[in-house]
Amino acid sequence: MNLFHVIGFGLKVGHLFWMLCCWVISLISMNWFGDGGIEDKSPLLGSSVGDSEKTKMAVKKKKMWFWNKISNSCLKIQTLWHHFMGSIRFGKTWWRKLLVAWVIGWVLLSFWTFWYLTSQAMEKRKETLASMCDERARMLQDQFNVSLNHVQAMSILISTFHHGKNPSAIDQRTFSEYTDRTAFERPLTSGVAYAVRVLHSEREQFEMQQGWRIRRMDTLEQNPVHKDDYNPEALEPSPLQDEYAPVIFAQDTISHVVSLDMLSGKEDRENVLRARESGKGVLTAPFPLLKTNRLGVILTFAVYKRDLPPNATPDERIEATNGYLGGVFDIESLVEKLLQQLASKQDILVNVYDTSNSSHPISMYGSNVAEDGLEHVSLLNFGDPFRKHEMRCRFKQKPPWPWLSIGTSIGILVIAMLVAHIFHATISRIHKVEEDFHKMEQLKKKAEAADIAKSQFLATVSHEIRTPMNGVLGMLHMLMDTELDVTQQDYVRTAQASGKALVSLINEVLDQAKIESGKLELEEVRFDLRGILDDVLSLFSGKSQQKGVELAVYISDRVPEMLIGDPGRFRQIMTNLMGNSIKFTEKGHILVTVHLVEEILETIEFETETSPRNTLSGFPVADKRKSWEKFKAISSDAHRSFSPSASEINLIVSVEDTGVGIPLEAQSRIFTPFMQVGPSISRTHGGTGIGLSISKCLVGLMKGDISFSSIPKVGSTFTFTTVFGKGLRMADRKSQSIAFEFRDMAAVVVDDRSTRAKVSRYHFQRLGLHVEVVPDLDHVLRFLKSSVTTVKMVFIEQEIWNRDCGISYVFTKKLQKSYSVDAPKLFLLASSVESSRSDAPISGFFAPTVIMKPLRASMLAATLQRVMGIGNKETPLNREIPALSLRNLLLGRKILIVDDNNVNLRVAAGALKKYGAEVVSTDSGIKAVSLLKPPHKFDACFMDIQMPEMDGFEATRRIREMEREINGRIQSGEEASEDEQRNRTASSWHVPILAMTADVIQATHEECLKCGMDGYVSKPFEAEQLYREVSRYFQSLSDSDS
C-alpha cells in the first residue's frame, strides 16, 4: 500500500465520519422539534377533550416515524462503515506516518521558502546595485564623450586659426581666455594644452621666438614635487632628440606645463606617438599630475595639416602632424563631482580602475573599505581601444535581516499545522467529487458527440441548400443575358442579390461549423495580394460612392508582388472587415494599409498621434498605435510571433474607418460568435455576428493575431498579422503590358493631405508613372514651367477643385494660354457621384475627366487608355476578363459536363455555350468514364465531385488508369488503331478534368491533384475563375492564328 492509497483511504473515512456527525445533529434537532415544537402547542379554543387526545396520538405517531427513519439511516451508515472497514485493513500507525510525512514535508517546504525568498532578495539587491552602478558608469562615460568631442573640435580650431593663418590668430592669452570661457562644455577636463611639433633643426629658432627653452618633464615623473615647490625655471632643458613637442598654449589651470616637452615623458611620448599614427584620441595610463600630485589621465589628439586626405596611411599622418592637443582629466575630482549630482550617492561605494593590465589594475578613484562583499563591475569605454577601464560598485551597509523570509516560512508552518488539523473535514467529499467527475466526463463525451453531430449536420444541410441555390443563381445569371425590360432587370438583380446574401450566410454558418469541429484547412497557392485587394474594393465601390465615403488601399513597396497562401480566406477576412466598416460608416473614409511587420516595429517608437488633418478624409480616427502596441509586446516575447523563416514574410494589415465605433461595454465580446454590439444593430444593419469570429480563427490559422482600437462616435481600426510564403515574381504578368504604356510618363497629383496624396501616388506608380505631389493649383503652374520632363497628366482632388470655382476656372485659362499643343490632361479624383459634378464652367479640351474612387489599377489603366488614346483598351488587368477572351479560348471546344443534378447541368452547359463551346452532358460518373475512354474528341471535362454510384474522384481515377494504359501501349511501340492515331493530338492522352463543386473549399487543390484532377471551378461559373483555369490548357484562337 503506497502513500496515495493511504491518503485516499483517509479521505473516504473522513467523509463517512462527517456523514455520521450530520445524522447525529439531525437526530438531536428532530427530537427537540418533536418534544417542544409539537407537544407544547395548546389545543384550539372550543375543541373538546377527545380532540386533544387525538392530537397527542398524532404527535406520537409522527415522533415514532422520525425515530424509525433516523434509526434506519444510522443502521445503513453503520453497515456501510463495517463493510468498508472490513474490506480494507488499515492500521493506526499509517495515520502517524502520514502526519509525520505531512509535517516533514511542510518543514522542508518552509526551509525551501526561506532559502528562495532570501535568494530572491539577494538577486534584487544585486539588480539594484547593477542598476545604480550602470547608471553612474553611463553618466561618467557620456560626460567623458562630451569632453572628448569638444577637445577634438578644439584641435580643428587650432589647425585652422593657428597653423592655417600666417601670422597665427591664436596666442597664449587668446587660448587661455577661450578655454576658460568654454570650460563648461568640457565638464570632465581639468585643463587643455597644445604642444607644437618642433624638429631638432628648428629648436634653436623656436626657442628664440618663444623666449624660453624647451624643458624636459621626465624628471618630474621620477621625482614628483608638491604644487607649492614647483618651479618651471628649475627644470632641465630637454635632451637632444629628433623632434620635440613643447607646450605653447595652455589653460590657466595647467599653465605650468608651458615649455615642457611632451616627448620627454614616457607616458606622454607613447600617447603622442599613438595619437598621430591612428588619427584618433588616445588616453594615457593613470599617473600623478604635476603640482596636484593627484591621479589623472591625458586625452591626446593630433593636429594635422589641412590637406591631409581622409584615408591617409600612418606614415602620411606622421608627416602631416603639426602638433598635439591634450586634455587633462583629474579622475578623482571629476568622479566625485559626478557622484554629487546623484541623490543616492551615499548608498554605494564607487571605485574606478584602469584594467589595461588585467594582472595589475590601477585604482583611479575610491577606496576598498566596505562592509558588504557584494560587488558589480560596469565596463567603461572612453574611446581608446588600447585602454580598458571599469567601475566597481559595492553597498556601504550590510544587507538587512530577511524578516520577510523568516515570517513567510513561519507562517507556512503555522498554516500547515492548521491544514493538518482540519484535514479530514476538508477532503471528506472527495469520493462524491470523483463520482461527479466520472458523470461529467460521460456528459462531456455526449456533448462533444452532439456538437460533432451538429457540425456535420450543419455542413451537410448547408451544402444541400447551397446546391439548389447555386442553380437558382446560375439561372438568374443566364436570365440576365436575355432581353429584359428595366423592371424585369431590377427584379432579377434583387433576386440575385438576395440569393448571394443567402449563400454568403450559409458559407458563414458552414465555416463556423468547420471551426468548431477543427476541420478548417488552408490552401497554399500563389496569388497577387494587390489584385485581391483591388477585387475587394470593387465589391464595396458602389456602396462607398453612394454614401460618399472615401475607400482606399495602400500597400507598402516592401511587400512582394506574389505571395503563397490561401487567397480565398484572405479575401474572406478583408471582406468581413471592410464589410463591417462600410456598414457602420456614413461619412469620412475607410483605409486599408498593408505593411511588413518589420516596418511597423521600426517606426512604432516614432509614430506620433495622428491629427485629423493627416488622415485620409480629414476626420479623426481611432489611434491604431494602441493595437500596434500589442503586436510589439508579442514580438519582444523571445521574438516568438514576428520571426518568420527566410521563405516567409509577416504582414500587418489595418482597416481604418470613421464610423460609429464600438461601445466600451461591447468591446470585450466583439469576437464572440453570434454576438453583436446590441439588439438594435441587427435590426438596423443586419448581419449574423459571426464574421469577426471567423476572421479571428482564420487569422490564427495564418499564424497571426488580430486586435482593434475603437472610440465611440469616432471610428474603429482593426489590425491583424498574417504569415505568407514568398512567391516568385511572374515575368509574364498581364499588368506589365499596361504598365509599359505609361512607364516614364510624368504626372502631377494636386492634394493638400499627405495621407491621401500618398495613397494616390501609390496607385499611379503601379502603372509606371513618375508622380509629383503639389498642394494647390498655383503650384501646378509653377511646376509645369520649371519641370524638365513633359507632364502628361494632372490629377486633382475634387475637394480642391470645388473649393473655389473661380480659381479652377482661372487655372484652366492659364493652362490654355501656356499650351497650344501637348497640353496635359486634367483628371478629377472624386469619392461620390454628387462630388463628381463640377461647378466650374469649363468645357472643351481642358474639361477634366472624372475618375471615381476607390482607385484600382484596372480602372485607372482603362480610363487613362481611353482618355490618352494609347495602348490596347481591352487589355485585361487584375482578373477583369472580358467575354471576348473566354470566347477565344472556348470557341469550338468540345467539353463534357458531368453532374447528377439536372439544374446544375443546364446552368453549366448554358454558361459554357455562351462562350461558344460545344457541350455534352451526362449525369453519372460511370457514363463519364465510358465517354472519356480513348479515343475520344473531348477537349476538357467539368466533373461534379459528389455523385451517387461513382463520385467524381473515383471516376477521375479510372479515366487516368485508362489513359495510362493506352499511353503505355503507344510508348511500347504497339500498333494503335486508326481512330486512335487520328484523334490523338499529342504524344500521350491526357484530357483536362476540372472539378465542379458548390464549395470550393471542400474540393481542395491537394485532393484534386491526388486523384488526378487538374483543378477546380466553383458553381455557378464565374468568368474570372473559368478563364484562369481554362487558359492553363487551351490556347486562344487569336494566338493560334498568329
Q: Give residue 982's pLDDT band: very low, low, confident or very high (50, 70, 90).
A: very low
End-to-end CA distance of the chain: 92
Contacts of 862 (CB under 8 A, 6+ apart): 873, 877
Lowest mean pLDDT among 7-21, 241-255, 356-370, 1017-1031: 7-21
Q: Is the pLDDT of residue 1021 over 70?
A: no
pLDDT of residue 1004: 56
| Dihedral over alpha carbons 742, 748, 751, 755 (to 10 degrees) | 50
pLDDT of residue 86: 43
Q: Is the pLDDT of residue 232 over 80?
A: no
What percent of the chain lies above the pLDDT cut of 90?
12
pLDDT of residue 837: 55
Q: Stretch 5-23: mean pLDDT, rounded? A: 56
How far is residue 821 from each of residues 769, 816, 828, 846, measured CA to CA in Å? 21, 9, 21, 12
Between 567 and 675, the higher pLDDT residue:
567
Q: Give residue 1006's pLDDT band: very low, low, confident or very high (50, 70, 90).
A: low
Lowest mean pLDDT among 68-82, 116-130, 540-554: 68-82
Q: Is the pLDDT of residue 401 over 50?
A: yes
pLDDT of residue 1040: 45
Lowest mean pLDDT among 775-784, 801-810, 930-939, 956-965: 801-810
Q: Stretch 662-667: mean pLDDT, rounded? A: 86
User: How far apart, in whole angstroms, are the C-alpha atoms of residue 1006 and residue 523?
Assistant: 8
Q: β-pairing, 791-797 with 825-830?
A: parallel
Lowest mean pLDDT among 337-341, 578-582, 714-718, 839-843: 839-843
Q: Is the torsion defined by CA of 616, 617, 618, 622 positive or negative?
A: negative
Largest CA distance in the chain: 153
pLDDT in tens, 925-947: 999 999 998 888 898 999 888 88
How far is residue 724 from each of residues 571, 573, 701, 1039, measured CA to CA in Å? 14, 14, 11, 35
Q: Look at the pTM and tell me if it is higher than 0.85.
A: no
Q: Stretch 190-198: mean pLDDT, rounded? A: 90
Range with the largest mean pLDDT of 132-146, 308-322, 578-592:
578-592
pLDDT of residue 381: 86
Closest by CA position to 341, among listed 139, 498, 524? 139
Residue type, 964: R
Lowest mean pLDDT among 377-386, 682-691, 1029-1038: 682-691
pLDDT of residue 724: 94
Give φ, ψ of 645 to 5 degrees.
-75, 175
Q: Give residue 559's pLDDT band: very low, low, confident or very high (50, 70, 90).
A: very high
Neighbours of 589 (CB within 10 A): 26
pLDDT in tens, 825-874: 889 998 876 655 555 555 555 678 888 888 888 888 888 888 887 765 44
- Which residues does residue 721 pair with via DSSP β-bridges, in sequence order? 652
Residue type, 352: V
Burial 189-208 (b: 16+ CB within 10 A, else e): bbbbbbbbbbeeeebeebbe
Q: Is the torsion defined by CA of 127, 128, 132, 133 positive or negative?
A: negative
Between 606 and 974, the higher pLDDT residue:
974
Q: Give residue 37's pLDDT band: very low, low, confident or very high (50, 70, 90).
A: very low
Between 425 and 312, the higher pLDDT residue:
312
Cβ 686 vs Cβ 508: under 8 Å: no
The packing angle between helices 430-480 and 3-32, to 10°, is 100
pLDDT in tens, 621-658: 887 666 656 555 555 543 444 556 678 899 999 999 99
Lowest mean pLDDT among 467-471, 697-701, 839-843, 997-1001: 839-843
Lowest mean pLDDT among 6-20, 160-174, 282-296: 6-20
Q: Stretch 698-725: mean pLDDT, rounded? A: 91
pLDDT in tens, 325-344: 988 888 777 777 777 776 55
Between 85 and 308, the higher pLDDT residue:
308
Q: Give residue 17's pLDDT band: very low, low, confident or very high (50, 70, 90).
A: low
Cβ 856 vs Cβ 538: under 8 Å: yes
pLDDT of residue 1003: 42
Closest by CA position to 302, among listed 327, 266, 277? 277
Output the DSSP codes for 29-65: HHHHIIIIIITTPPPPTT--HHHHHHHHHHHHHHHHH
CA 847 to chain centre: 46
Q: Give residue 880's pLDDT band: very low, low, confident or very high (50, 70, 90).
A: very low
- To which residue does cell 518552509 refer? 110
At residue 370's C-alpha, the angle toward residues 364 and 374, to 5°, is 95
